[in-house]
Structure formats: structure tokens, C-alpha cells
Amino acid sequence: MPTTIPSSGKLLISSAQISSRIKAMGQQISADLAGSRETVLLMVADGALIFSADLGRTISIPLYMDQIAVSSYEGTESSGKIRLRTKPRLNLSGKNILLVDDILDTGQTISYLISYLKQFKPDKIYICVMLDKPSGRKVPIIADYVGFEVPDKFVIGYGMDYDGLYRNLPDIYCLD
Ligand code: IMP
Ligand code: MG
């Protein structure tokens, strides 16, 4: 049976819009980081899995890829308690980290990860997110690369889930 979209779901960003935006982001990142330190694309699992795979393939500089996993969400509410589930495996010392997440909302996850990653002495940490919900911010985090700004609504698809489902939808929907 194909995945059905919840009845309250409204199309927000199509897969065609996503792929053209990612291509531009990849070109920008490649131009900005060309000739600098070695770069590690550090995907924040599980939400950024699909975005990272697509973004990584548009980046033309040498790129290491690794992952880190955290959990904080229950249903559509952030629990605020962030738990590290998987540590990075690569040596990050002296490297550029391109930290890739699906969505920047309160900023708590990214801020937690920045503090956590500093112990590995990277040269620089760049923040890259598919979606930015600026109105949800509780911690002042500004991403270096943003796919799209979105309103303060719960979104699913393109890696983002509701209780574990809908990550595989190619388009992004919001739930009312
Ligand atoms: P923050 O810590 O509040 O910035 O939340 C960031 C994390 O919460 C992201 O990595 C997402 O996995 C998850 N998240 C925030 N908003 C949504 C949403 O609308 N849909 C699905 N996941 C979300
Ligand atoms: Mg996430």
C-alpha cells in the first residue's frame, strides 16, 4: 500500500523545488569551502538522512561523511531533553564540520551539538539546515545555509517524521 498523507497535510514544498534549491546550496557550499581545511559533512540522524544524501551529491569539494544522532521529539512536541544516541566516528580535529540537520526550530538541538562538538577541536562548524522556523527560536542560533524558511507549523516528509512515519515522502507537507 502506498504511503498516505494525513488528511490535514498540505503541500508546502515540492520535490522539484527541493532539488533545485539543494543544487544551489551545494554550489554555494563548494565555493565557500573550496581550498580550505578538510570538510566533514556531519549528518544529524535520522531527520537529515535524505537531505544529507542529496546535498552531499551536489558538493564538489572532497568531502568526508559521518553521522551523529540525537533524540528530543515525542509526537509533534519537542521534549527539550536532548539525548546523544550516536557519536561521530571520524577524527574531527582541525577539520571544517558542515553540520547538516533537517530543521532548525527552537535551536536547542544545534546549540547542544555545537557545545558537544567543540571538544573535538574542529577548525570551524558551519550550520546547514533544509528548513528554518525562525519564529520557534528559543536559543539564538543562525544557520550559515538554509534551504527554505517555513512558518511555525509541524512539517513532515523529505526526512521529517511524525512519530517515525512519513520520512520517505518526497515532498514536504505541513500539518494543521
Ligand atoms: P530544535 O531543537 O527545536 O531546533 O529542533 C530541531 C529538531 O526537531 C530537528 O532536528 C527535527 O528533527 C525536529 N523538528 C522540529 N520541528 C519539526 C517539525 O515540524 N517536523 C518534524 N521534526 C521537527
Ligand atoms: Mg532531527
Mean pLDDT value across the chain: 93
CA of 36 to the centre of ligand 1 (A): 30
Predicted confidence (pLDDT) at residue 1 exceeds the cutoff of 60: no
Global pTM value: 0.94
With a pLDDT cut of 90, the percent of the chain lying above it is 84
- Atom index in ligand 1 nearest the CA of residue 139 equals 4
Catalytic residue among 46, 102, 105, 132: 105
Is beta strand 154-156 parallel, antiparallel or unpaired with respect to 172-175?
antiparallel
CA distance 14 to 115: 34
Give me the pLDDT at residue 2, please: 64
Is the CB of residue 150 below 6 angstroms from any atom belonging to ligand 1? Answer: no
Residue range 65-113, pLDDT digits in tens:
999 999 876 666 666 688 899 999 999 999 999 999 999 999 999 999 9
Give me the pLDDT at residue 56, please: 98
CA of 78 to the centre of ligand 1 (A): 7
CA of 11 to the centre of ligand 1 (A): 18
Phi and psi based region of residue 26 (left: phi greater than 0; alpha: psi -120 to 50; beta: remaining): alpha
